[in-house]
Structure 1
Amino acid sequence: MAALVAFVLLLAVAAYACAGGTDYGAGFWDLTAGGAERGRRPRWLIDHAMAPVWEVNNVWLVFVLVLTWTGFPVLFQTVFTAMWLPLALAALGMVLRGAGFALRKPVRRLSRRRLYGAAFAVSSLLTPFCLGVTVGAIASGRVVPGTEAVAHAWFSAASLAFGLLTVASTALLGAVFLTADAARFEAPDLVGYFRVRALCAFVAVALTAAGVLVVTHGDAPYVWHGLTHGAGLGLAVASAVSFLVTGLLVLRGRARWARFGAVAAVGAAVLAWGFAQRPYLIPTSLSLADAAGDSQTLAWLLVVSLVALLLVGPAVGLLYWLDTHGELEPLADSDLRRTRPAGGAPPDDD
């Protein structure tokens, strides 16, 4: 029972890494777009591409938190006690990021628009880095039940390497999806713009992934063993192959198909990390059996997860489909003119 709930939790983490990671990556490229005039076109595309789905991606994070504190309360207490600072910074970044994205468009003052835009962009870098740092601390086994909130718990080579890899991965996801969105919005100048950035992110992911493997060998030997044997090795290879296919598709200008490769690469990497740690949630101090809650609670969690899959899953899938097929684009002036009556009066809102 506990193993099944843990697998559902791992799938939810992978879903958030891919869906939320794409949005964080878009924010990363917003941060690096340049000044107001130079970055006007890229930011226009980022706003239009993110607007329909940026809020729904946090559904996966809420699901992860509920599964963790309900199904594995010892893990939740241990992680959130020992690493409250990076997790608090990640949460602060989420709040500032959402507020910045929602408020930077309707405000009229240029100074406030820049302030909200900066909050959105900087938080898109801060949050994934802090979440990656937390994952690195867990993988290295520095956090054990009873660990106090000290920097030693998360400030290490493994934690920093995981944080950098997380940022690079979100940048890759964001650039690949924005390249496809640029083609969908018929903006050929932005297709080339984000294609170059996707290739740069591809190199950054390759370098940071190599760094993670190096530090994992020394700082997280249990995870290293899991990544080089059994299911962990198979998933790591699948991630590497998907990553290479993504780079090839980007080079050949197949951005629409490259999206699937990028999602597969990131999702398989998250699954590889999870399988490499089994049977531990924190190697090698907290096993799955020791961290699990009551059996009845786990059973109800599986029921709730099934209901969520049947009710929420199709709705989220439909939303993603509508967004990627251009069905959620805002009405243009020409569309509004076509909907007006012959007399020229605007249509009745009722």
Structure 2
Amino acid sequence: MTLPEAVLGVMFIGLIAYALFGGADFGAGIWDLLAGGTRRGERRRALIEHSLGPVWEANHVWLILVLVVLWTGFSGAFASVASTLYIPLTIAAFGMIARGAAFAFRKSVTTPGMRRFFGASFALSSLITPYFLGSVVGGVASGRVPPGIAAGDVITSWLNLTSVLGGVLAVLVCGYLAAVFLCADARRAGQLDLAAEFRVRALGAAAATGAAGLGGIFVLRADAPLLFAGLTGRAMVVVLLSALAGLTAIGLLLLRRYVLARVASALAVAAILVGWAVAQYPYILVPELTIADAAAGTSTLMAMLVSLVVGGAILVPALGYLYSLFQRAHPSVPASTPTGGADRTERGRHRGRPGRG
């Protein structure tokens, strides 16, 4: 492995972390949108706020890491992406700002109208932002971002079939990850009816994601032949691993093994991202700019790699500890649940079997 590949590999680990943690964060906002009316959706929104509230800002650390490494270590590629895809990137940035502001403000307002306004802003931003981030990935992966300042078409680079596929898949994957994560959080809070409800939503999101992925095969074959060739060639093993992990996660959801389902779901998402990287290797911008050609000087890359290793040794354990703290039950989430049919079924399945995931 060369020095540029090592630095880019660390950046890609940050991209995977953002897809998993930030993706679940955005997905929780999507389920907030679909939670129901003010009174009917109150318990669902309380669970969602408890699950993402303590860590939602921390998730963007991974996005900052990706941008800083790309900007510093591969500045030519960064400039090309930022100048050609500035429209979807700007919309995504405004979506993040609106989402963060709405999430904070809706806790401080008391009037029902303003709470609904900020709640709708938070939820809609959670839907829009991952879509446009996915469209950016689609534009890069399909080879529509050539090297140079605004060298690509600023419209068709993200308004194309592959970018639409990337945006749709990003939204579906975010919703799926969030539903899987919320299953375990709901059970931990004693809200077994909500665990059963999010289990159904996770299975539905998994089915929709699988259908979109299968349909995407034909889209990539027609619209992004180089990416299609890579995914069905050297990256095929990784793609099959992703599919196997996804099927395993569905089986674990059916068995109500929610913690293990989290692990399998994360592996499925991570594998498909790795498959994308393998498919377009050694290019950072298909089909012209290689990783070696885009890389900064050796001294810059070495300083960056040392900084990333030292910073990671501090950051990763700290974030791990933060996440673990809020995986425990919290008094702000009511432990009592209504005695609905789903709740009784869930309790009956686990009576006398403590400690299952």
The two structures have a TM-score, normalised by structure 1, of 0.91
Q: 2:159 aligns with which of 147, 155, 161?
A: 155
- What is the correspondence of 1:19-98 to structure 2 with a 5 Å cutoff? 19-98=21-100
Equivalent position of 2:285 in the other structure: 282
Find runs of 4+ consecutive structure 1 residues off by over 2 angstroms.
Answer: 329-333
Out of 94, 98, 101, the residue aligned to residue 99 of structure 1 is 101
What is the aligned partner in structure 1 of residue 338 from structure 2?
none
Match of 2:295 in 1: 292
Can you list the C-alpha shifts for 1:224-283, whole angstroms capped at 9, x where unaligned?
2221223x2222111111100111111111112111111111111111111111000111
The separation in 1 between residues aligned to 2:244 and 2:231, in whole angstroms, is 15
- The letter for the 1-side match of 2:212 is T
Q: CA deviation at 1:330?
A: 5.4
1:197 alignment counterpart: 201
2:251 counterpart residue number: 248
Q: Identity of paired residues, percent? A: 43
Aligned to 1:152, the other structure's residue is in SS state coil
Evaluate the alpha carbon distance shift between residue 257 and residue 65 of structure 1 in structure 2; reply closer, same or farther with a 3 A threshold: same
* SS in structure 2 of the partner of residue 49 of structure 1: helix
The equivalent of 1:307 in structure 2 is 310
Q: Which residue of 2 aligns with 1:188?
A: 192
Indicate if the aligned counterparts of 1:11 and 1:271 stay in contact, CA closer than 8 A: no
Q: Contact conserved, 2:231 with 2:279, CA < 8 A, in 1?
A: yes
Mapped contact 2:146–2:152 kept (Cα < 8 A): no
CA contact (8 A) 2:22 2:59 kept: yes
Matches of 1:42 and 1:247 in 2, distance apart?
A: 22
What is the letter of the counterpart of residue 201 of structure 1? A
What displacement does 1:309 show? 1.4
1:167-210 Cα offsets, whole Å, 9 max, x none, are 00000000000111110100011011111111110111101111
- TM-superposed CA distance for 1:150, in Å, is 2.2
The one-letter code sitting in structure 2 at the alignment partner of 1:214 is F
| Paired residues of 1:136 and 1:160 also in contact (CA < 8 A) | yes
Q: 2:265 aligns with which of 258, 262, 267?
A: 262
State the distance in 2 between where 1:257 and 1:88 align. 37
Provide the alpha-carbon RMSD of the alignment.
1.4
Aligned residue for 1:108? 110
In structure 2, the partner of 1:141 is 143
- Shift of residue 211, structure 1, vs aligned partner: 2.4
Q: Give the Å deviation of 1:111.
A: 1.2
Query: Which one-letter code corresponds to 2:101 in the other structure?
Result: A
Report how far residue 331 of structure 1 moved: 6.4
Which blocks of at least 5 consecutive residues in structure 1 are unaligned? Answer: 334-350
In the alignment, is the contact (CA less than 8 A) between 1:83 and 1:134 conserved in 2?
yes
Question: Is the CA contact (8 Å cut-off) linking 1:33 and 1:42 kept in structure 2?
Answer: yes
SS in 2 for 1:324: coil
C-alpha contact 1:81 1:149 (8 A) present in aligned 2: no
SS in 2 for 1:245: helix
**Does the residue aligned with 1:191 lie in a helix, a strand or coil?**
helix
Query: Aligned pairs, how many?
Result: 330
> Quick check: 140-149 or 277-286, which moved more?
140-149
Cross-structure match for 1:345: none
Deviation of 1:215 after TM superposition, in Å, equals 1.4
Please, which moves more after superposition, 83-92 or 32-41? 32-41
Taking the aligned partners of 1:153 and 1:109, their CA distance within structure 2 comes to 43
1:67 offset after TM fit, Å? 0.4
Contact 1:165 1:212 survives alignment (8 Å)? no
CA distance in 2, matches of 1:63, 1:38: 39
Distance 1:140 1:47 in 2: 36
Moved more, 33-42 or 303-312: 33-42
Aligned partners of 1:214 and 1:5: how far apart in 2?
33
**C-alpha separation in 2, matches of 1:74 and 1:219:** 25
Per-residue CA shift, 1:37-83, capped at 9, x if unaligned? 22111111101111111111111001001001001101110011001
- The Cα shift of 1:152 comes to 1.1
Tell me which amino acid in the other structure corresponds to 1:315. A
Deviation at 1:213, TM superposition (A): 2.0
Unaligned runs of 5+ in 2: 335-357
Moved more, 209-218 or 20-29: 209-218
Does the 8 Å contact 2:283/2:291 carry over to 1?
yes
Alpha-carbon distance between aligned partners in 2 of 1:27 and 1:239, rounded to the nearest angstrom: 25
Structure 2 distance, partners of 1:285, 1:218, is: 20
Counterpart residue type for residue 275 of structure 1: V
- Read off the aligned partner of 2:175 and give its amino acid letter: A
2:274 corresponds to which residue?
271
Letter in structure 2 aligned against 1:158: T
Which residue of the partner structure matches residue 348 of structure 1?
none
CA distance in 2, matches of 1:124, 1:226: 31
